[in-house]
Structure 1
Amino acid sequence: GDPKQRFEEDPVRMLRTLRFAAKLNFDIDPQILKIFDVDMTQLLRDVSPHRLYDESQKLFTMGHLARVLPMLIEFDIWKQLFADIKPDISKFIERAAKNTDQRIQIGKTINPAFFYAVLLWKPFLERCDFYLAKGIVPAEARAQAGLDVLKRQATRTVIPRFAETFIREVWEMQVRLLNPKPQQIEALASHARFRAGFDFLLLREKSGDDSTQGMGQWWDHYQSLSSDEKETAISQYNRQRAKTRRKQNIEANESKDTTAEIEPLVNVPEARSRRARREQTRSKDHVARSPESSTANLNTDHPIMKRKRVQRDLSQVVFGPTQ
């Protein structure tokens, strides 16, 4: 039939066309390519976000995700599926797509929500910076940023609640894996989301993200150790962590010293009024600290000077024990 009429009847057929072309590696008919314009792809906005989520899962799990992503950008479909994600395939996204395809080809299971966590990672960081700039504490900034990004993405594809929870937990694990407390490393390695968080961290590190500080390799090496070797690794990590903290404290103190007030090179005479106030304050402090001056200021009319000593009859006073 007429391709234009078929796409207008069901815009999701455009996604199927690209999916089959990427999976079977065939060229799309030129007559169909002419129809893939901005006006035609805009029809995807009329499709239910729930249905578009299901279609996006088919793209992620077909085993040729790395091949179909550039096609989504080329045919202006990317913007119809992803709200705040720029149409640019970064090294992080590309490596995640290739790893997803490799897992499918060797028969391993995948979680489609993991790739959504990869796609939305950059918008999540940008939103975190927005809240941190307002003075919100990091934990609350991350929580609110996650809600905002997922809510915004729901205008294109409605991610189920369980998948949203998974995505936010993977993001939160990044902070815990980057700077773990030594006494919590063993418990963290047995966390339900450790594997997903670790894979995410290692992908970031292999994609050139310097902010991981090499912790991806550290966790990768840690998992291959025996129980005794793990205790040794934790002790070494604890010493290195303490050394890094001392270095940071020294640098912080040095920065405070450099920002201290510098004395002027030219001696400017102090104002007469300020000098007089300082001398007056100094004399008052000296008087207040001197006990002699405090008693000298007491005149005869002072109540304490008017007190009369009562004469007592010492014959009535018993000194010592009596028999």
Structure 2
Amino acid sequence: MPIQDPPSPASAPVALQVIPREGHNISRKDISPNAVRVLYRLRDAGFAACLVGGAVRDLLVGGKPKDFDIATDATPEEVKSLFRNCRLIGRRFRLAHVVFGREIIEVATFRANTDDGSGDRELHEGGRLLRDNVYGTIEEDAVRRDFTANALYYAIEDFSVRDYVGGFEDVRNRVLKLIGDPEARYREDPVRMLRAVRLAAKLDFSIDPATAEPLPRLAPLLRESAPARLFEECLKMFLSGHAEASFLGLEKHGLLAALFPETAAALAANRSGALRRMLVEGLRGTDARVAAGEPVSPAFLFALLLWPAYCRQLMALQAQGMHAAEAQRRAADRVTLHQLQVVALPRRFSTPMQEIWLLQSRFGQRKRVGRLLAHPRFRAAFDFLALREVASPEHAEDVAFWREAQGDLAQDATEAGGDGDDEAGAPPARRRRRRRRSDGRTG
């Protein structure tokens, strides 16, 4: 690998620093054996290849990476020629995926900062990067990465860490810092703003002041991003065990209103702060479930994130004199439709999300108890009701009633020889009585 100062876009380029094996804590035993296999095969074929990005960063802070990415000077086609279990993907970024059963090792070719016309790069007139397949050197590759903490390379030939942009020191100081001019980098890819918040939450890093400063100003750029991509980023932020810290980061850096505009407006209008308390407590519970290895439903998550918006819309419709049931349906549809313009929430999640909301009004009626207990969304809706008690103690009586009702049903099921729960986690429906016809027969 060549050793020289990179053509860094940063105002103060940092010379290459090689951290030898004794100077860091990364061990091959902590790296996926499949990733090590790919690294050695590329090396043996005469190519430069390094473990790069989040895996190196996470290993340095004592974490356990889930993904192991590799950077190399081999082109995607050359990588594919070395591995029969390889497929090429992507248009915006051409990548090689080497598949080992359920594990995928992603291999990317070193990319350059500038295009001499021989590469494949396309920029939006606003500066957003639409396609970037211009290959270069490892030095160029380092400075075109997003954060300094993600631009560290673990070299398999001598087990050293190669640092071209000062990322090793930033990781030691637990600081997240963009490479280059922050505003230009955010304009290249607005989703980087969400990544900054997510990574800071995940790693318990602070965000460098220069990296944080443009966030509130450039937040509207998120509306230019594909809604499907923002949905995926939301799942990463809120379902990886750092939901509460991510939410607080979005608030702090002025990004919440860009991602969840109606929720942000509702929270600002809620003077008591009850809705925010409920939301934060719910995210804290989500983190606890992830930490315990328990499943978390995106439908429940979005029901929580958009609940303040639903409540505000419902109050507005009822103030216009609309019947309660109709207002609930209209509010659910409007909030969902408006949010879909920003984040592409699939119907398989938006439908149960709405059902969780609409079932809330039935808890106060206490009619047809057995039917409500048998509803496939009852468990999620009841958990949501219990969460609402955090915001308002007026729900305590309903929570107690329905908790007791579930206990009674479980007891009945046990006495009948069942276990009280079906495979989906919802209580089984009571057996319906056959209705007697007027002629004395049953049917």
TM-score using structure 1 length? 0.65
Aligned to 1:129: 315
CA contact (8 A) 1:117 1:171 kept: yes
Distance 2:370 2:262 in 1: 37
Aligned to 1:302: none
CA contact (8 A) 2:238 2:246 kept: no
CA contact (8 A) 1:205 1:214 kept: no
User: What pairs up with 1:7-26 in 2 under 5 angstroms?
Assistant: 7-26=186-205
Amino acid of the structure 2 residue aligned with 1:19 = R
Q: Does 1:219 align with 2:398?
A: no
Alpha-carbon distance change, 209 to 158 in structure 1, aligned in 2, over 3 angstroms = farther
Out of 258, 276, 279, the residue aligned to residue 93 of structure 1 is: 279
Distance 1:23 1:217 in 2: 36
* Count of residues in Structure 1 that have an aligned counterpart in Structure 2: 226
Dislocated runs of 4+, deviation >4 Å:
none
Distance 2:195 2:355 in 1: 31
Alpha-carbon distance change, 221 to 16 in structure 1, aligned in 2, over 3 angstroms = same
Alpha-carbon distance change, 7 to 174 in structure 1, aligned in 2, over 3 angstroms = same
Distance 2:366 2:334 in 1: 27
CA contact (8 A) 2:216 2:255 kept: no
Amino acid of the structure 2 residue aligned with 1:198 = F
CA contact (8 A) 1:178 1:213 kept: no
Structure 2 unaligned segments of length 5 or more: list them: 1-178, 268-274, 416-443
Distance 1:13 1:160 in 2: 23
Secondary structure, counterpart of 1:90 in structure 2: helix
CA contact (8 A) 2:281 2:387 kept: yes
RMSD of aligned residue pairs (Cα, Å): 2.2
Q: Does 1:197 align with 2:375?
A: no
Q: Does 1:188 align with 2:366?
A: no
Q: Does 1:67 align with 2:251?
A: no
Moved more, 99-108 or 119-128: 119-128
Aligned to 1:261: none
Q: Does 1:155 align with 2:341?
A: yes
User: Whose radius of gyration is greater, 1 or 2?
Assistant: 1
Identity of aligned residues (%): 33
User: What pairs up with 1:1-323 in 2 under 5 angstroms?
Assistant: 1-2=179-180, 3-38=182-217, 40-86=218-264, 88=267, 90-181=276-367, 184-210=368-394, 212=395, 214-225=397-408, 226-227=411-412
Amino acid of the structure 2 residue aligned with 1:34 = E
Distance 1:122 1:22 in 2: 23
Alpha-carbon distance change, 147 to 21 in structure 1, aligned in 2, over 3 angstroms = same
Amino acid of the structure 2 residue aligned with 1:35 = P
Alpha-carbon distance change, 131 to 170 in structure 1, aligned in 2, over 3 angstroms = same
CA contact (8 A) 1:83 1:152 kept: no
Q: Which has the higher helix share?
A: 1
TM-score using structure 2 length? 0.48
Alpha-carbon distance change, 229 to 157 in structure 1, aligned in 2, over 3 angstroms = same
Q: CA deviation at 1:33?
A: 2.1
Q: CA deviation at 1:37?
A: 3.7
Relative CO higher for 1 or 2, CA cutoff 8 Å, sep ≥ 6?
1
Distance 2:413 2:189 in 1: 61
Alpha-carbon distance change, 43 to 126 in structure 1, aligned in 2, over 3 angstroms = closer
